[in-house]
Amino acid sequence: MTRREPFYWIMVWCGLVVMAFIALPLFELMTAPSLSGLREALRDKEVMRSIWLSIYTAGWAALISFVLGTPLAYLLARRDFKGKRLVEGIIDLPIIIPHPVVGIAILSVVGKNHWIGRMLAELGIRVMGSVTGIIAVLIFVGLPFYLHAAREGFENISPRLESVSRSLGASMVSTFFRITFPLAWRSMLVGIIMCAARAISEFGAVVVVAYHPMIAPVLIYERFEGYGLKYSQPVAVWLVLICLSLFFVLRFLTLPKKKKT
């Protein structure tokens, strides 16, 4: 047997530290509340409402990102145009901007001092402290994740497949639905889940725009501030379980496809 070099052991030890750093706190969190505490949290109307609101708003955010983002993702995957780098840069902005700043930025557009805000007010649409506001914020933070995943999916499809389809008489729209979509749906679904997962975990941006109605992360924060660690844990566990199930679906979908024989 060859002797392992010291570098090998450095890699192994650093790896273990990283694993522990991520897994240990989560493990402690998940095992801290008692089963009765968890059950009680489920019966707590406020908790249930906040968790449902989280799922509901994240779901809408993902759906709207899908509808609005797909054409842009396709455009970015297929065409080169002037200012493409700028567009790509703008898309990535939500990832690097601090989350509370996102909330403040959105408020500065929908407030009374902006014509868009006044127009919305006239239409009777309230953003501040409303579900609409939460969804708007979640789209803001989640959209880049959908765009990246969908774009990558489109880029993996040879443009020649689309060319052949068109030479056979199919229009651009027809080609998209018969060729591109069936081949890219997996990436698009991954994008939707990434977007939803990102949205469901958002706190900083939401809390600026809408403290009430309360999504789960805000409720967890409130319980922690008001009653302490012990009271925030059961809600946190439920939220983590939701996030984990999303994560497992994601992992399952992105498994390398087994070659059919």
- Which residues of this protein are in contact with other proteins, per CB under 8 A? 80, 158, 160-161, 163-172, 178-179, 182-183, 259-261
Q: Name the DSSP letter for residue 176.
A: I
- Give 54's contacts (C-beta < 8 A, 6+ positions apart): 200, 215, 216, 217, 239, 242
Report d(CA 45, CA 205) in Å as an integer: 24
Closest separation between CB of residue 184 and other proteins, Å?
Answer: 11
Closest separation between CB of residue 176 and other proteins, Å?
Answer: 13
Amino acid, single-letter form, for residue 203: F
Q: What are the φ/ψ torsions at residue 127 (nearest 5 degrees)? A: -105, -50
3 or 82: CB nearest other proteins = 82
160 or 212: CB nearest other proteins = 160
Closest separation between CB of residue 251 and other proteins, Å?
Answer: 23
Report d(CA 195, CA 220) in Å as an integer: 21
181 or 224: CB nearest other proteins = 181
118 or 178: CB nearest other proteins = 178
User: Quick check: 191 and 146 in contact, CB under 8 A?
Assistant: yes
184 or 190: CB nearest other proteins = 184
Closest separation between CB of residue 121 and other proteins, Å?
Answer: 45
* Closest listed residue to residue 227, CA positions, set 47, 97, 81: 47
> How many residues does the structure list for the chain?
261
Report d(CA 124, CA 35) in Å as an integer: 44
190 or 215: CB nearest other proteins = 190
Q: Which helix (H) or strand (E) holds 70?
A: helix 45-78
The separation between the first and the last C-alpha atoms of the chain, rounded to the nearest angstrom, is 39
Closest separation between CB of residue 175 and other proteins, Å?
Answer: 8
Closest separation between CB of residue 165 and other proteins, Å?
Answer: 7
Amino acid, single-letter form, for residue 84: K
Q: Which two tokens stand for residue 97?
A: 């901007």
